[in-house]
Structure 1
């Protein structure tokens, strides 16, 4: 009898989500995400998988963000030909995001190989290419929220809305081997309560084991009301000042659409009429179209607003879509009055790098950081007070005003994580993933103070840890 869960990614770090579930003779992968961060971190993506890709029977994907989906094409390249189960909106978004990732892989490896050649180092291959992405998309199986599907006799799955980005899912798994059945709940990335556009994360009452993210396990975000007030003040100060440009590094899926909605709702209150708002990200533009196609998944406030303002869609008005590279470069000739939303959200790639190069050294400009910044990324360096950044080989002084708006985060904070867990009956054992050690220890302390969890039933997973699910509720670890 075999029923185990092994943790192979996003252990004591926030990216690279990947967990291997074994039930009887079947092996199921929960997520297969890209490792992000420093150059050393990203090079770890080149390492072989910790398992045989051809032996995997199914992949279940929580959502489309690259740190959860980004190594799926590498899995395909290594020979995986089984199904990839995810929400239908996540499948649509993956088609966009994985193609973009393939392009970036080719470009980055080409640049890296030029340096490696000079140092007589072996040449690297891209993790995957667009052909691998095309094959991957053929293997996606689209599911709806609330649909219970029997994948094998040993496994049933159901997705519920996680409220993090469009299509993000909490994964419920019923695993059976011989006469033993256990229920595993994987949170994926949990969204916040009361945030715009999307619904709140669904509460799940029953589980034998909970696998939960912990990105902001030691943090409490500002309230939504305080966040709106903070943004209003930032724009008011920019207008009163010399009115340089305002840059918003934003994740193309989720954050970009949220910002478009806010700029529509508060255009008058924030006095944005004199500003030109640009969404400078082809991927974010394509993702916005997917949001438009999935209107039924939006929360009631969004749908009510849209019904009350026919012909004035809140994600399309008051913004200019910047598609071509030439259009993007032209923005660098404008010294003031621009609000530029561009990827990447951690400032480690994409068009935001070019805009930072042209604006970061100017004290009349503003940079608004509004999402999680992984260790060693340029965005994290800015948040931590760097006085310069190296961009495109140049050292750029940091003189622009920097604002960190944590209240815009799409991740649940400590209070919300504890609240979501408390809705389970009987305090099931809990394993934390997708968080840095300090955040995880802070969350463990809060959970033990505010729930019935015992210290022996709460742990932050380490890479390679393997849990015997058949022994639950006892936490029995295997070598």
Structure 2
């Protein structure tokens, strides 16, 4: 009998990892579905540092739904510890992984450098990063990319098919057909389901056949506001920020959210509703991803691109004329000389590091600053502290008062809301077993109750739980 073991993203949003043990004719074959980084505090760091042990050499294949670090950020660590088999993903995911993993390795190297300077002074043992750029290069060399709908043979007689999840570039719903107990069983993993209202991405594919479904539940406790209301709120916040005379800070995820925010700023600009004088995209990684989205525009929603008149020619010179992309540290530091009238988009999306932290030092204590939160903030992150109303926060060794006005605009989410998830789950025939992953406990319980009202029974697994397919 083939089995699935839950090794991550249970009772939390990050750290996606599931071990599939396939009951082949000759022996058991081990496959890993997802290899995500845990995010959000000391517990996450400890979980990331835990060795894979002998599993790294026993695995015969890895399947990745999409390129966000919470789904793929530990791949180079797996390779560093001995994995040398194929990593199956889409082309968009492969291209994003090159950007995301190289950036993660660079940040880790810097963090470890600072940590070891302190450890030397304290006469403590030095630490090593989870992985380095050499590990990333070996990881990328193992990637095998596949088109949506293309069947792929895996060890043990399993078959893989990717479907469009509509979340970010290359994101996929994973279908795995697996021999189990003399039968063929179908396991479907939703990955991160996209929000049908968000721009640039196509709507998530519906899937109709499954025996077991793993479904994300990030926003399982609520629906997002309608997009037109969200855009009007966003426009009003920017207008009030202009009147107040301060800067607007937008912590944004480099993949997906940044490109969507730029899209909406472009629309507002061409409608004459954007009164700020300058928009800064202050994230080297987000800049690379934005350029990738431009190159891969044929994979994006054609109707949304028509609004910007760039689908045919690819000419982006008038996309957002006041946009400045700041790649270097010097360019980033120069932004801090601007005391008002600027929109600053920078990572990290959950305010756990990156250039947004430096902009906090210069803007967070100013009452005329507007901090616009446009993405999910996981428990334990600085962004979550601020959203939860912290009056003071610790930033780069400084204690800062949060005097900026904070706006949380949830309608920009690239994740499906509760109603969309229930609708997606309702398309399956023959009552498959549902397991809710990628959600905090309250969101999972709310989604479980919502599914029950539609006669869909779902379970919430715990870490280490093992099920038969």
Shorter chain as denominator, the TM-score bin is over 0.9
Q: Is the 8 A contact 1:235 1:270 kept in 2?
A: no
Q: Describe the shift of the 1:84–1:11 C-alpha distance in structure 2 as closer, same or farther (beyond 3 A).
A: same
* SS of structure 2 residue aligned to 1:418: helix
Aligned to 2:177: 174
Deviation at 1:353, TM superposition (A): 0.3
TM-score (norm 1): 0.93
Q: Is the 8 A contact 2:2 2:181 kept in 1?
A: no
Query: Structure 2 CA distance, aligned partners of 1:287 and 1:308?
Result: 18
Is the aligned partner of 1:435 residue 2:439? yes
Which residue in the other structure is 1:360 paired with? 364
In structure 2, what is the equivalent of residue 411 of structure 1? 415
- Structure 2 equivalent of residue 16 of structure 1: 15
**Could you report, residue by residue, the CA deviation over 1:129-182 in whole angstroms, capped at 9, with x for unpaired residues?**
000000000000011111111223511111111111111100011111463110
Matched residue, 1:59: 62
In the alignment, which residue of structure 2 is the partner of 1:161? Answer: 164
Q: CA deviation at 1:109?
A: 2.0
Does the CA contact (< 8 Å) of 1:232 and 1:270 recur in 2? Answer: no
Structure 1 distance, partners of 2:289, 2:318, is 15
SS in 2 for 1:362: coil
In structure 1, what is the Cα distance between the partners aligned to 2:416 and 2:220? Answer: 8
2:277–2:322 contact (8 Å) kept in structure 1: no
The answer for the alignment partner of 2:299 in structure 1 is 297
The match for 2:460 is 460
- Give the distance between the partners of 1:400 and 1:4, measured in 2 at CA: 50
8 Å contact kept, 1:427–1:452 = no
Match of 1:248 among 229, 250, 255: 250
User: Aligned match of 2:32 in 29, 48, 53?
Assistant: 29
- 1:333 maps onto 2:370 in alignment: no
Aligned residue in 2 for 1:98: 101
The 1:372–1:385 alpha-carbon spacing in structure 2 relative to 1, beyond 3 Å, is same
Distance across 2 between alignment mates of 1:31 and 1:314: 39
Deviations 1:42-82 (A, max 9, x none): 23211112761000000000000011111000000000000
Q: CA deviation at 1:397?
A: 0.8
Alpha-carbon shift at residue 35 of structure 1 (Å):
0.6
Please say if residues 198 and 413 of structure 2, whose CA atoms lie closer than 8 Å, have aligned partners that are also in contact: no
Shift in alpha-carbon separation, 1:315–1:201, aligned structure 2, 3 A: farther
1:395 correspondence with 2:399: yes
More displaced 10-residue stretch of structure 1: 202-211 or 259-268: 259-268
1:121 Cα deviation after fit: 4.2
Task: Calculate the aligned-residue CA RMSD, in Å.
Answer: 1.7
Residue segments in structure 1 that go unaligned for 5+ positions in a row: 470-479
Query: How do residues 282-293 of structure 1 correspond to structure 2 at under 5 angstroms?
Result: 282-293=284-295
Deviations 1:295-339 (A, max 9, x none): 121113124333578534676644111100000000001101110
Is residue 260–residue 314 contact of structure 1 (8 Å, CA) maintained in 2?
A: no
Contact 2:61 2:155 in 1 (8 A): no
How many residue pairs end up in the alignment? 463
Q: Deviation string for 1:345-402 (max 9, x for gaps)?
A: 0001100000011100000110000001011100000100001111110011100110
- Which stretch shifts more, 404-413 or 41-50? 41-50
CA contact under 8 A between 2:276 and 2:342: conserved in structure 1?
A: no
Once residues 100 and 276 of structure 2 are traced to their aligned partners in structure 1, the CA distance between those partners, rounded to angstroms, is 33
Residue 473 of structure 1 corresponds to none
Moved more, 422-431 or 371-380: 422-431
Q: Distance in 2 between matches of 1:398 and 1:198?
A: 35
Which 5+ residue runs of structure 2 have no aligned equivalent?
none
Determine the C-alpha separation between the residues in 1 that align with 2:115 and 2:316: 45
Partner in structure 2 of residue 476 of structure 1: none
Is 1:37–1:376's contact at 8 Å kept on the other side of the alignment? Answer: yes
For the residue of structure 2 that corresponds to 1:9, the secondary structure is coil
Q: Secondary structure at the match of 1:158?
A: strand
Q: Which residue of 2 aligns with 1:423?
A: 427
Structure-2 change in CA distance of 1:312 and 1:121 (3 Å): closer
Change beyond 3 A, Cα 1:97–1:298:
same
Shift of 1:120: 5.0
Would you say 1:136 and 2:139 are equivalent positions? yes
Instruction: Tell me if structure 1 keeps the 8 A contact 2:251–2:356.
Output: yes
Counterpart check, 1:75 vs 2:78: yes
Q: Say whether the 8 Å CA contact 1:363–1:400 is kept in structure 2.
A: yes
Query: Mean alpha-carbon deviation: is it higher for 300-309 or for 430-439?
Result: 300-309
